[in-house]
């Protein structure tokens, strides 16, 4: 059976492509404006990727079209599929129908930390000898791809609340039939499809309703939005976790201020110490959730704790891209004020008084709409300097928002940001590039420019 995937280079759809091919399907697809790591992953796996949406690519050999949620009415391929009544489905529905039947699904949902927590969970199960399948919205550092079938029964999936497709406006995660669930957090995001926080809560309520009574929901004790969702109806067992010594079953005690080492407790019992290469309270938060979910699948917490000692975070999660003349360049996926704030806070505890330069691309739909406003300014106070890119379709003026409150600058060209960073940065500085897109390959451009200046 030949499936053709529209929007194949997206973080989710690229994983669907890998799973489909491994399951025995012939796979091809198309996209435009592709960039690593998903484009290179598809190339490495030998999956045909056609640039653009010319309907001519849908020849008679295509049995099923899988439509990514980035495509909408008016797209020439979408119109061709509808006009000629070609069989089509969404990515989540395909996964539900062809990949997940008979699997014990461990789903990780929430506004932040889904990719990291899913990666942790997959690695814990791997180290426990279960060889899980997984579908993650990024490439986990301990694996070579973002998705694989693995061995039954366990399958880890990043459960996104974004809508499924232009013809199915439910959140993706309602398709996954999970048994073990992490609800990491819940905030307002995706303003392009959700009118308000209440609309997102409603989707989470739908998600909770499909978890069986034998299932488990792991969630943070302090998250009021999730507590509100669960108060409206929960038919599964719950376990809470906390970064402090609250009434939660799971909690931790730091051995280092930057959370690069901490003890894990269940009730009054210390189960062991996580000593790893990651840092930041947000990563400790993710770790507690992963340990609790893995326990539900039969992994002793002591085994999970040991596995996290060798965990390598997913690509683009505070990924060190290089160092020139003592200047470090990081790539981070942060694109929401909370994620930006926690990323900078974790780095600050790590580097002390060293200077942090934040480079921001407001790329997500929510960010471009200017929804976050004041919260965005507050999230950047952890940086010593902020350089913000202003794309042409930005609906708000960063200069007005940042004026007198954020030291740095606003630029209309990426090359101007590169030159400003190179002019400003000095030995010992940490440059954090934050974007959920390719950002015109700014990372190698920064490193190349620094090498030219310093003769490295």
Distance of CA 24 to the CA centre of its chain: 27
| CATH for 68 | 3.40.50.720
Residue 261 resides in a domain: yes
Among 347, 360, 342, 343, CA closest to 411: 360
Cβ neighbours of 303 (radius 10 Å): 18
pLDDT of residue 201: 95
Residue 95 resides in a domain: no
Residue 26 and residue 158 in one domain: no
- Count of structural domains within the chain: 3
Cα torsion 329, 334, 340, 343 to 10°: value is -60
Query: How far apart (Å, rounded) are the C-alpha atoms in residues 103 and 107?
Result: 12
Cα torsion 29, 158, 376, 345 to 10°: value is -130
pTM: 0.84
Q: pLDDT tier at 369 (50, 70, 90 boundaries)?
A: low
Q: Token digits for 365?
A: 């739909």
Residue 285 and residue 336 in one domain: no
Query: How far apart (Å, rounded) are the C-alpha atoms in residues 151 and 131?
Result: 6
Q: pLDDT tier at 43 (50, 70, 90 boundaries)?
A: confident
Residue 72 and residue 18 in one domain: yes
Q: Is a pLDDT exceeding 60 seen at residue 436?
A: yes
Query: How far apart (Å, rounded) are the C-alpha atoms in residues 334 and 57?
Result: 35
Residues 6 or more apart whose Cβ sits within 8 Å of residue 420 = 387, 409, 411
| CATH for 414 | 3.90.190.20
Q: Is a pLDDT exceeding 80 seen at residue 13?
A: yes
Residue 313 resides in a domain: no
Summarised one tens digit per residue, pLDDT across range 251-262 is 999 999 889 999
pLDDT of residue 52: 93
Residue 297 and residue 378 in one domain: no
Q: Which of 280, 308, 336 is the last residue of a domain?
A: 308
Q: Token digits for 153?
A: 């029964």
Query: How far apart (Å, rounded) are the C-alpha atoms in residues 64 and 55?
Result: 14
Query: How far apart (Å, rounded) are the C-alpha atoms in residues 365 and 348?
Result: 28
| CATH for 225 | 3.40.1190.10
* Contact yes or no for 250/240 (Cβ under 8 A): yes
Summarised one tens digit per residue, pLDDT across range 260-286 is 999 999 999 999 999 998 888 889 999
pLDDT of residue 48: 85
Residue 409 resides in a domain: yes
Summarised one tens digit per residue, pLDDT across range 124-181 is 999 999 999 999 988 898 998 999 999 999 999 999 999 999 999 999 999 999 999 9
Residue 353 and residue 303 in one domain: no
Query: How far apart (Å, rounded) are the C-alpha atoms in residues 83 and 162?
Result: 27
DSSP string across 353-392: TS-EEEEE---SHHHHTT-STHHHHHHTTTSSEEEEE--T
DSSP character at residue 98: H
Q: Which of 289, 308, 327 is the last residue of a domain?
A: 308
- The domain in which residue 262 lies consists of 100-308
Summarised one tens digit per residue, pLDDT across range 381-420 is 889 999 988 888 787 777 777 777 778 888 889 999 999 9
Residue 190 resides in a domain: yes
Residue 67 resides in a domain: yes
Three-state DSSP string of 109-125? ECCCCHHHHHHHHHHHH
52: region left, alpha or beta (phi > 0 left; psi from -120 to 50 alpha): left
Residue 394 resides in a domain: yes
Q: Which of 69, 90, 111 is the last residue of a domain?
A: 90
Residue 285 and residue 328 in one domain: no
């Amino acid at each position: 059976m030949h499936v053709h995937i529209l929007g194949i280079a997206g973080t989710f759809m690229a994983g669907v492509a890998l799973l489909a091919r491994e399951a025995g399907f012939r796979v091809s697809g198309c996209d435009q404006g592709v960039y690593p790591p998903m484009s290179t992953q598809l190339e490495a796996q030998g999956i045909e990727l056609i640039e653009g949406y010319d309907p001519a690519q849908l020849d008679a050999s295509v049995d099923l079209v899988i439509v990514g949620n980035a495509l909408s009415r008016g797209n020439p391929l979408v119109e061709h599929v509808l006009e000629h009544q070609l069989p089509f489905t969404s990515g989540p529905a395909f996964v539900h129908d062809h990949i997940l039947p008979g699997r014990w699904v461990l789903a990780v949902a929430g506004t932040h930390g889904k990719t990291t927590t899913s990666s942790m969970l997959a690695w814990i199960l791997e180290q426990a000898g279960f060889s899980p399948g997984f579908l993650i919205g990024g490439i986990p550092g301990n694996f070579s791809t973002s998705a694989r079938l693995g061995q039954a029964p366990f399958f880890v999936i990043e459960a996104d609340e974004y809508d499924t497709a232009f013809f199915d406006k439910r959140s993706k995660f309602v398709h996954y039939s999970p048994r073990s669930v992490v609800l990491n957090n819940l905030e307002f995001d995706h303003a392009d499809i959700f009118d308000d926080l209440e609309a997102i809560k409603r989707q989470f309520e739908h998600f909770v309703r499909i978890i069986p009574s034998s299932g488990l929901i792991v969630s943070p004790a302090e998250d009021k939005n999730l507590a509100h969702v669960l108060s409206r109806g929960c038919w599964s067992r719950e376990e809470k976790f906390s970064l402090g010594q609250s009434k939660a079953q799971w909690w931790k005690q730091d051995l280092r201020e930057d959370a690069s080492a901490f003890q894990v407790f269940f009730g009054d019992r210390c189960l062991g110490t996580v000593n790893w290469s990651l840092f930041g309270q947000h990563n400790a938060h993710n770790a507690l959730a992963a340990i609790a979910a893995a326990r539900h699948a039969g992994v002793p917490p002591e085994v999970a704790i040991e596995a996290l000692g060798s965990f390598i975070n997913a690509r683009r999660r505070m990924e060190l891209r290089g160092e020139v003349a003592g200047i470090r360049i990081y790539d981070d996926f942060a694109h929401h004020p909370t994620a930006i704030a926690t990323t900078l806070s974790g780095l600050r505890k790590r580097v002390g008084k060293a200077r942090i330069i934040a480079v921001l691309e407001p790329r997500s739909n929510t960010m471009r709409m200017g929804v976050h406003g004041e919260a965005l300014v507050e999230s950047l106070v952890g940086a010593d300097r902020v350089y913000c890119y202003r794309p042409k379709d930005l609906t708000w003026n960063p200069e007005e928002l940042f004026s007198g409150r954020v030291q740095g600058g606003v630029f209309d060209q990426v090359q101007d940001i590169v030159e400003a960073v190179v002019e400003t940065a000095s030995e010992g500085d940490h440059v954090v590039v934050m974007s959920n897109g390719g950002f015109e390959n700014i990372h190698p451009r920064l490193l190349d420019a620094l090498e030219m200046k310093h003769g490295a």
